[in-house]
C-alpha cells in the first residue's frame, strides 16, 4: 500500500502527496461559496499511478519536456538518453522521477505545513551523467499558497530541468477546461514541429492563437486553423516568460466556481499543455498543465538558457501556486 501525506491549513485548503513519483494526488480548494473540491486530475487508488502514462500529478526529471533524438553533448562527451516518445526523450525517460519512490526525509506531521522528499539518481540512470541527489520540498501557507522547491547537486557536470506535472481543472464537475480563462505573461513562445520539438527560434504571440497577455478562454483559439495548433492538436508549447518584479507567470480562473490560480516562478519558461492526448479514465481537455521550466531541447540549442548543472554546484528553483477567488 502506498502511503499518503496531507498538508493543510485552517481554511480547508489541503494537499495530498504520495512518495511514488512525488505525486500531488489532491489539491482541495474552496470555491466562492465555500465548497471544497479537488482541482487536479487524479486516480482514486494510489496504486493506479504505477500504470499511468500521462504523468498525472508527478515530479518530472531529470529533464522536463523533449530532447531531440534523446541525445546531447557535454564537454567532449556524447550522451544517449532513453527514447520514450518516438525518437524523442520526454520528461526524463522510461523510468524518470515520476516512476520512482521518493524517500520522505522530513514531514511536519503536527501542523501539516510541509513535507520534504528525496531521490538519489545514479550515474547514467536513463542515460544522464552524474550521481544526482534531488530534494523537493512541498509547503503551504494560511494564505492558500502551495509552493514547490527543487534542490539538487551532482558529482559530475550534467543537465537538469525538473518540473511538476499537475493537470488543473478549477471546476471538476465539468469534464473540460475549455471555459477556463488563462493569462500568461509572455510576449514570445517556442514554435514546434510535427514531432513536438522546438524549432530553435522564438515567435511573437501578437495576433496569434498564443497571445494570452490578456485573459481569454482556452476555447477561443484552441481549434484555430493554425499550423502550431494543428501540430499539437491544441496547446503544447513553451512560453518565454517576461521578467517582472512579481515573478507572476500565469493566472488561471473559472467563472462558475470563482476559483483563481496565480502561478509565480523563478524559471524562464512555462509549458502550457491542454491535455490533448489524455486517455484511459481521462478525457481530452479534462485538465491543463502549466509546467514551469527551462526551454525544451535546451542542451542542443545554444541560444536557449543553459540547462547545465556543474559538478558540486547547488541547484535551486521555486514555483508557488496561490489559490484565491476572482
CATH of the domain at 231: 2.70.98.10
Among 218, 219, 210, CA closest to 187: 210
Could you tell me the three cell numbers for 53?
A: 502514462
Neighbour count for residue 105 (Cβ, 10 Å): 12
Q: Average of pLDDT values for 121-129?
A: 98
How far is C-alpha 295 from the chain's CA centre?
Answer: 12
Distance of CA 190 to the CA centre of its chain: 17
What are the backbone angles phi and psi of residue 68, rounded to the nearest 5°?
-60, 130
How much is the pLDDT for 314? 98
Residue 68 annotated in active site: no
Spatial separation of the C-alpha atoms in residues 93 and 89, rounded to whole Å: 6
Distance of CA 255 to the CA centre of its chain: 24
Q: How far apart are CA 306 and CA 147, in angstroms?
A: 24
- 229: alpha, beta or left? (left if phi > 0; alpha if psi -120 to 50): alpha
Instruction: Write down the pTM of the prediction.
Output: 0.97
Q: How many Å apart are CA 294 and CA 271, to the nearest integer?
A: 9
Banded model confidence at residue 89, pLDDT cuts 50, 70, 90 = very high
Among the listed residues 165, 237, 251, 254, the single catalytic one is: 165
Model confidence pLDDT, tens digit, residues 285-301: 999 999 999 999 999 99
How far out from the chain centre does Cα 217 lie?
Answer: 20
Q: Give me the domain span that covers residue 310.
A: 5-325
**Predicted confidence (pLDDT) per residue in 127-146, tens digit:** 999 999 999 999 999 999 99
**How many Å is the maximal CA-CA distance in the chain?**
60
Tens-place pLDDT, residues 90-106: 999 999 999 999 999 99
Q: Which three cell numbers stand for residue 223?
A: 481549434
Q: Across the strands, what pairs with 8? A: 14
Residue with cell 478549477: 170
Q: Express each pLDDT in 179-214 by its tens digit.
A: 999 999 999 999 999 888 888 889 999 999 999 999
Q: Centre a 10 Å sphere on the Cβ of residue 157 and count the other Cβ atoms it contains.
A: 16
* pLDDT, position 73: 97
Beta strands in 66-123 (DSSP E): 66-67, 71-74, 77-80, 89-90, 103-107, 114-121
Query: Which is more confidently placed, 245 or 324?
Result: 324
Active site residue 165: yes
C-alpha distance from residue 135 to each of 61, 234, 296, 312 (Å) = 12, 33, 22, 15
Is the pLDDT reported for residue 25 higher than 90?
Answer: yes
Q: What is residue 245's predicted lDDT score, i.e. its pLDDT?
A: 85
Average model confidence (pLDDT) across the chain:
97
- pLDDT at 217 > cutoff 90: yes
pLDDT at position 183, please? 98
Q: What is the mean pLDDT of residues 47-73?
A: 97
Number of domains in the chain: 1
pLDDT of residue 199: 82
* CA 284 from centroid of its chain's CA atoms: 18
Spatial distance between the Cα atoms of 78 and 58, rounded to a whole number of angstroms: 28
Output the pLDDT for position 195: 84
Nearest to 144 by CA among 302, 262, 279: 262
Distance CA 101, CA 79 (A): 25
CA end-to-end distance (rounded Å), the chain: 39
Kind of pairing between the strands at 203-204 and 216-217 = unpaired
- What are the cell numbers at 296? 525544451
Catalytic-labelled residue, pool 26, 68, 125, 291: 291
Q: Report the share of the chain in percent with pLDDT over 90.
A: 95
- Locate cell 520534504: which residue? 116
Model confidence band, residue 1 (pLDDT cutoffs 50, 70, 90)? confident
* Secondary structure letter of residue 228 according to DSSP: H
Give residue 244's pLDDT band: very low, low, confident or very high (50, 70, 90).
confident
Amino acid at each position: 500500500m502506498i502511503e499518503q501525506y496531507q498538508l493543510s491549513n485552517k481554511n480547508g485548503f489541503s494537499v495530498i502527496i504520495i512518495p511514488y513519483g512525488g505525486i500531488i494526488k489532491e489539491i482541495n480548494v474552496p470555491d466562492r461559496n465555500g465548497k471544497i473540491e479537488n482541482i487536479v486530475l487524479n486516480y482514486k487508488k494510489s496504486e493506479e499511478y504505477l500504470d499511468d502514462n500521462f504523468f498525472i500529478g508527478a515530479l518530472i526529471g531529470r529533464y522536463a519536456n523533449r530532447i531531440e533524438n534523446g541525445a546531447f553533448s557535454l564537454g567532449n562527451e556524447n550522451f544517449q538518453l532513453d527514447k520514450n516518445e518516438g525518437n524523442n526523450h520526454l520528461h526524463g525517460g522510461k523510468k524518470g522521477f515520476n516512476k520512482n519512490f521518493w524517500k520522505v526525509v522530513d514531514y511536519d506531521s503536527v501542523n501539516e505545513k510541509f513535507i520534504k522528499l528525496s531521490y538519489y539518481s545514479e550515474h547514467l540512470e536513463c542515460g544522464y551523467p552524474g550521481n544526482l541527489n534531488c530534494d523537493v520540498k512541498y509547503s503551504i501557507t494560511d494564505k492558500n499558497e502551495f509552493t514547490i522547491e527543487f534542490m539538487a547537486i551532482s558529482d559530475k557536470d550534467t543537465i537538469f530541468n525538473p518540473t511538476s506535472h499537475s493537470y488543473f481543472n478549477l471546476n471538476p464537475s465539468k469534464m473540460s477546461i475549455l471555459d477556463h480563462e488563462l493569462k500568461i505573461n509572455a510576449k514570445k513562445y517556442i514554435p514546434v514541429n510535427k514531432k513536438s520539438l522546438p524549432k530553435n527560434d522564438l515567435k511573437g504571440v501578437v495576433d496569434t492563437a498564443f497571445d494570452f497577455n490578456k485573459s481569454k478562454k482556452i476555447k477561443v483559439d484552441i481549434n484555430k486553423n493554425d499550423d502550431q495548433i494543428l501540430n499539437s492538436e491544441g496547446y503544447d508549447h513553451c512560453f518565454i516568460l517576461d521578467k517582472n518584479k512579481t515573478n507572476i507567470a500565469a493566472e488561471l480562473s473559472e467563472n462558475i466556481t470563482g476559483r483563481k490560480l496565480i502561478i509565480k516562478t523563478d524559471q524562464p519558461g512555462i509549458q502550457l499543455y491542454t491535455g490533448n492526448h489524455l486517455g484511459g479514465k481521462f478525457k481530452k481537455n479534462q485538465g491543463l498543465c502549466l509546467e514551469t521550466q527551462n526551454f525544451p531541447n535546451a542542451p542542443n540549442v545554444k541560444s536557449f538558457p543553459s540547462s547545465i548543472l556543474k559538478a558540486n554546484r547547488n541547484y535551486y528553483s521555486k514555483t508557488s501556486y496561490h489559490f484565491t477567488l476572482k
